[in-house]
Amino acid sequence: MKSIVKQSNKKAAFTIIELLTVMSIIVILIGLLVPSLNMARRYARKLTQKNQLRTIGIAIEFFNNEWDGYPPSAAVDGEGQPYCGAMKLCEAMVGRDLLGFHLDSLFNRDGIDALGRQLYEPSTLGARKELFIQLENANTYRLVDIYGPGQIAPFEENTFVLCDVYKREMRTGMKMGMPVLYYKADTSSKLHDPNVAPTPLDNNGNIYNFWDNQVLVGLGKPWEQGGKSASHSLSDPARFYRNTRNNQITTVRRPYREESYILMSAGYDGEYGTSDDIYNFDWKYRQ
């Protein structure tokens, strides 16, 4: 009887070869599954980013209905000081101090109006417009928190911008996304040509002016060592015009959304001007 029990137990055991075979199969299955999970995760993040741009777009339309015009996006303010499209977008949506847009704002980077009054301070809350985007959805950060002290010139360090959802650890030690870029269309213009050579003050006939955020793009990749030396592909003006060209129109060069505005996220890789950038329209990457 005892011998029969021992024989039965021996048959039920796994051999080392069998265990190694099972483990090998599990490893292979994990190897096949992980890339699929990563792709699914990236696709989900892309949908989240598109939804964020959609939310910002709805808020911009509310601003347009309120003020009969979209926020400006020029590279400088009325005094000629650097204050780009991404910064003006943030001011329009939540105000310079995140307490609401001031009714008398001229979109000057110092927040001062034509009479020399400081518009953004606690005493002016009665003249503020309610937030067009709630702060919990705005994803706002100061430039100094993104790029680090001494890396923001010629901008003011405490200027806020709206950031995308692709959070990464910056050199500052904080985790956040890259600024959402904003370009307003000049509906009086008809061109979409980088060879026209726009300037920060004049788009020279182009519907969109790449200079609107070019100095901000020039601050580089804040998660890499080297700061400004680590440039974005969008630093090349031609890249901006290729990426925003409407593929459906073949007879002449025309941009997407030529009657309104462009919103842009740097995408998963955090670099502006690459194939994973996300816009408020469907586009095709052009080499």
For 56, the enclosing helix (H) or strand (E) is helix 16-67
Looking at residue 235, its pLDDT comes to: 92
- Give the residue among 69, 77, 203, 222 at the shortest CA–CA distance from 143: 222
Instruction: Could you list the beta-strand ranges (E) of the chain.
Output: 140-142, 160-162, 168-169, 175-176, 181-184, 261-265, 278-279
Residue 266 lies in a domain: yes
User: What is the residue type of 178?
Assistant: M
Looking at residue 15, its pLDDT comes to: 81
Looking at residue 284, its pLDDT comes to: 85
Mean pLDDT of the chain: 90
Q: Which residue has the higher pLDDT, 224 or 24?
A: 224
- Give the residue among 29, 132, 27, 10 at the shortest CA–CA distance from 71: 132
Residue 261 lies in a domain: yes
Q: What is the DSSP letter of 207?
A: S
221-227 average pLDDT score: 81
Residue 64 neighbours by CB under 8 Å, 6+ apart: 70
Residue 66 CB: number of other CB atoms within 10 A?
13
- Residue 69 CA to residue 47 CA, distance in Å, equals 28
Residue 86 lies in a domain: yes
- Residue 118 CA to residue 47 CA, distance in Å, equals 40
Q: Which residue has the higher pLDDT, 68 or 43?
A: 68
Residue 27 lies in a domain: no
251-257 average pLDDT score: 94
Looking at residue 11, its pLDDT comes to: 55
Contact (CB, 8 A) for 245 and 254: yes
206-217 average pLDDT score: 96
Residue 62 CB: number of other CB atoms within 10 A?
15
For 89, the enclosing helix (H) or strand (E) is helix 85-94
Owner of token pair 């009887």? 1
State pTM to two decimals: 0.87
Looking at residue 74, its pLDDT comes to: 97
1-20 average pLDDT score: 61
Q: Which two structure tokens, joined as six digits, stand for 223? A: 């998660």
13-56 tens-digit pLDDT: 668 877 777 777 787 877 776 676 667 778 888 999 999 999 99
Residue 285 lies in a domain: no
Q: Identify the domain containing residue 128 by its residue range.
A: 45-279
Q: Give the total number of structural domains in the chain.
A: 1
134-178 tens-digit pLDDT: 998 899 999 999 999 999 999 999 999 999 999 999 999 999 999
Residue 257 lies in a domain: yes
In the chain, what percentage of residues exceed pLDDT 70? 92
Q: How far is CA 139 from CA 61, 97, 134, 144, 189, in A?
A: 19, 14, 9, 15, 33
Residue 206 neighbours by CB under 8 Å, 6+ apart: 186, 189, 191, 192, 193, 196, 198
Residue 7 lies in a domain: no
- Residue 195 CA to residue 207 CA, distance in Å, equals 13
Residue 12 has pLDDT above 80, yes or no: no
Residue 8 lies in a domain: no
